[in-house]
Amino acid sequence: MTIHYAYEDILKAAKRIDWTVEEIIGRGQQLDFTRPFMPESLARTEGLGFMNEQEKLIFNQIRGHSYLYIFMLVEEIILPFVEEHANREGIQNPIETEAFMQFAAEESKHIELFAKFREKFQADFGTEIEVIGPVEQIAKAIMANHPLAVAITTLHIEWMTQGHYVDSVKNNVELCPQYESLLRHHWMEEAQHAKLDSNMVLALGEGLSQDELKLVLEDYFKIGGILDDGLQIQAKFDREAFERVTGRILTPEECAIYQDVQSQAFRWTYLGSGMTHPNFLKTLEALAPFMRETVESISHNFC
Ligand SMILES: [Fe+2]
Ligand SMILES: [Fe+2]
Integer-rounded Cα radius of gyration of the chain: 19
**Annotated domain spans of the chain:** 52-302
What is the 49 CA–ligand 1 centroid distance (Å)?
Answer: 34
Identify the CA nearest to 153 among candidates 194, 122, 189.
194
What mean pLDDT, rounded, does the chain reach?
96
What are the DSSP calls for 192-212, one per residue? Answer: HHHHHHHHHHHHHHTT--HHH
Mean pLDDT by 10 residues, the chain (303 residues): 90 94 87 97 98 98 98 96 90 91 96 96 91 96 98 97 95 95 95 96 96 98 98 98 97 98 98 98 97 98 94
**Per this entry, what is the length of the chain?**
303
Ligand number nearest CA of 82 is: 2
Ligand number nearest CA of 196 is: 2
Identify the CA nearest to 60 among candidates 248, 251, 244, 265.
265
DSSP symbol at 114: H
Q: What pLDDT, in 10s, does the model give residues 18-58?
A: 899 999 998 788 999 999 999 999 999 999 999 999 999 99
Q: What pLDDT, in 10s, does the model give residues 268-286?
A: 999 999 999 999 999 999 9
Listed in sequence order, the DSSP H helices in 144-176 are 147-164
What is the 107 CA–ligand 1 centroid distance (Å)?
Answer: 5
What is the 197 CA–ligand 2 centroid distance (Å)?
Answer: 9
Residue 91 is predicted with a pLDDT of 83
What is the 78 CA–ligand 1 centroid distance (Å)?
Answer: 9
Residue 20 is predicted with a pLDDT of 94
CA dihedral for 231, 234, 235, 236, sign (positive or negative): positive
Let me know if 18 is exposed, middle or buried by CB neighbors in 10 A (0-12, 13-18, 19+): exposed
Is 52-302 a CATH 1.10.620.20 domain? yes
